[in-house]
Amino acid sequence: MNPSDIVWHPATVDRSARESNLGQRGVVVWFTGLSGCGKSTVANELDSQLLQLGRATTLLDGDNIRHGLCAPPPALREEHGEAFAERFGLGFASIDREENIRRIGNVAALMASAGLITLTAFVSPYRKDRDRVRKIVEEAGKTGDFIEVFVDTPLDICEARDPKGLYKKARSGEIKNFTGISDPYEAPRNPEIRLDGGKATTPADQAAEVLQKLVEWKVFATS
Ligand SMILES: Nc1ncnc2c1ncn2[C@@H]1O[C@H](COP(=O)(O)OS(=O)(=O)O)[C@@H](OP(=O)(O)O)[C@H]1O
Ligand SMILES: Nc1ncnc2c1ncn2[C@@H]1O[C@H](COP(=O)(O)OP(=O)(O)O)[C@@H](O)[C@H]1O
């Protein structure tokens, strides 16, 4: 197949019309960090705070997306067969994570193009993968549309929390390629926002810190 046979069709209703209808800019707020660092909790809290302010949002959470769009091979086998499951199912090898983030990065960019404040919560451990999403989102919109939020909670705190018992399994070798234990986490060098999970702050305060930046950066105005 020749890629040039697939031709972009310009939309009749453009992004700026959608954004002005909603009274906000479409952006991607990309939470990244170790398992258990607080990504989902803070992103959900931010989602609630934004809803209270009447903002149009959506939230894409790694755990949930891996139940559908990025399901693992065993979840696809019965419905689609072995070959399909092996080809399209995703685990946690670096190439699988790359495809996970590529798929979800494109989905997030589409949602931001629809004018939504798009919150995402993925471990997304590789800098290159996150930087690719930044590029996709900014090419679909403009510089400033991708807001990387590093939830910087030390590994020992994440491991002590271990809400799903995954660190315990990773330590015993039952789970392979576990981020922070047997797989790398490449911390962002210049995130737009860094939340210090090493100090005693509530998820509500952390979410409020992000919210304040969104207002400061004129994603929307508060009345
Ligand atoms: N090997 C390994 N490494 C990291 N995480 C693992 C692994 N196996 C399962 N889990 C669970 O899957 C959640 C991470 O999924 P993501 O899609 O966010 O991962 S990634 O961005 O593709 O790296 C992650 O969710 P969170 O704990 O919410 O971060 C874990 O619950
Ligand atoms: N700021 C915080 N202070 C204390 N505990 C927190 C904080 N943020 C999250 N938690 C707790 O840490 C655990 C892991 O949070 P979660 O949002 O599931 O992390 P992640 O999505 O990064 O895996 C949960 O039990 C949650 O209640």
The domain spans of the chain are 22-216
Task: Give the dihedral sign, CA 59/62/64/68.
Answer: positive
Residues 6+ away with beta carbon under 8 Å from 115 = 15, 18, 19, 21, 22, 24, 25, 26, 56
CA nearest to 146, candidates 29, 2, 4 = 29
Helix axes 127-140, 94-113, angle to 10 degrees: 20
Q: What is the pLDDT of residue 220?
A: 97
Mean pLDDT of the region 151-162: 98
Q: Is the pLDDT of residue 222 over 90?
A: no
Residue numbers in the known binding site for ATP are 33-40
Q: pTM for this structure?
A: 0.98
CA 55 to centroid of ligand 2, rounded, Å? 24
Domain 22-216: CATH superfamily, name plus number: P-loop containing nucleotide triphosphate hydrolases (3.40.50.300)
Q: What is the pLDDT of residue 122?
A: 98
Q: Which residues are catalytic, by number?
A: 124
Residue numbers in the known binding site are 33-40
Mean pLDDT of the region 9-27: 96
Mean pLDDT of the region 20-39: 98
Residue 81's pLDDT band (boundaries 50, 70, 90)?
A: very high
Ligand 2 pocket mutation pick from 47, 157, 161, 162 by most atoms within 8 angstroms of CB: 161
ipTM: 0.99
Task: Give the dihedral sign, CA 15/52/215/63.
Answer: negative
End-to-end CA distance of the chain: 52
Mean pLDDT of the region 172-183: 97
* Ligand number, closest to the Cα atom of 124: 1
